[in-house]
Structure formats: structure tokens, C-alpha cells
Amino acid sequence: MENTSRAMGILDGLAKALSRAGLMISMAVLLIMLGGTAYDVASRYLFNKPIVGVIEFSGAYLPAFTFLGLAMTQRLKGNINVTFGLQLMSPWRRKLAEFLGILLSLLFAGAIAWQSSAGALFSFEMQEYHWGVVGLGLTIWIWPAKVAVAVGLWMLCLEYVSELLRMLAQLTGRLAIEAKIEEAKSHL
């Protein structure tokens, strides 16, 4: 039981670290997109010279911003939850229903992550880039954004696995009070 608790702690720590890293990268991408857009708007209206490729870059990297933050959003319970009918269930059945919901989410996210990884690998192998600005000598690589989407989905899967293990320990009564207190502190 001690080894199980320790393994869960290591897995949860890894999921938390990766979620934080994904969030930081996501925020950096957002800041680059915001800065580029603001600079483009100012340059367009003040000097009548728009910045080439800003719109294409933002369009290409918006999915990277979105998907790299998914794991942290799940960790913080920031997603929309449908709780219709859960209040009518006993606490154990409610936990079981939540467990099954997260399990289905893991399976769905895993299938999407698998397919996204295949697409990202293909995109990387062909060094995919945006065709719209080629004539201007500007290359906007698409493959890093596709890799970021796949990585973000795998991080979400890891977060789901960590959450499932915590819930399984709660359902079976193997999660000690101290671990519950530590879990509550980690979300603050």
C-alpha cells in the first residue's frame, strides 16, 4: 500500500509538472500572438504597413495555445461539468459515475491524441509550412503547432490517468486522510 501511494504521488507530481509546463508554453504562445497582433494593428493604422504573416501565424498556433493548456484546466476542474442527476445519487454512486465519465474522457482523448500524433509525425516528416506567405519569403512552420496539439492531448491523458487513480483509491477506501489533505493543498 505504501508503494502504491508513492507511485501515485510520483505520477501525480509528473502530471502536475507537465501541466504547469504546458500552461507556461501556452501562455507564451498567447503573448506572442497578442504582441504580434497588436503590433500589426498599430503598424497598419499608423504607418499603413501591415506586418506580413501575423494573421497566418496566429491562425496556425491558436490550436497549440488551446491544447497545451487543457491538462491544467482539467487539473483545476476548470472544464464545464454536467451534474444533472448526480445530486440524486448516493455519494459512492456519484463517485462511480464521475469515475466512469473520466474513464470515457480518457478513452476519447487517447484516441484523439493517437491520431493527432500520427498527423504531427507526418507533418514533421514533410516539414509542413503555411503556403499563403511563401511568395514573400516568409515561412511559417505548421508542424510545431501540430506537435503541440498532440503533446497537449497526451498531457491531458496523463492528467486523466492521475485523476482516475486518485478516484479509484477514494472508491476503494485506500486513500488516507493525509493524502486527501495534501491533494486539497496542491490545488491552492
Q: What is the 3-class SS of 65-83, one letter each residue?
A: HHHHCHHHHHHCCCCCCCC
Q: What is the mean pLDDT of residues 124-138?
A: 73
Q: How many domains does the chain have?
A: 1
Full-model pTM: 0.80
Q: How would residue 176 be classed by pLDDT, with cut points 50, 70 and 90? A: low
Answer yes or no: are the C-beta atoms of 143 and 160 closer than 8 Å.
no
For residue 150, give every residue at least 6 positions away whose Cβ sits within 8 Å of its Cβ, in sequence order, or none: 113, 116, 117, 119, 120
The residue that leads in pLDDT, 10 or 149, is: 149
pLDDT value at position 25?
93
At residue 4, does pLDDT exceed 90? no
Give the pLDDT band of residue 182 (cuts 50, 70, 90). Answer: low
Q: What percent of the chain has pLDDT over 90?
A: 41
Note down the domain range covering 100.
2-186
Question: Contact at 8 Å (CB) between 187 and 54?
Answer: no
pLDDT band of 80, cuts 50, 70, 90: confident
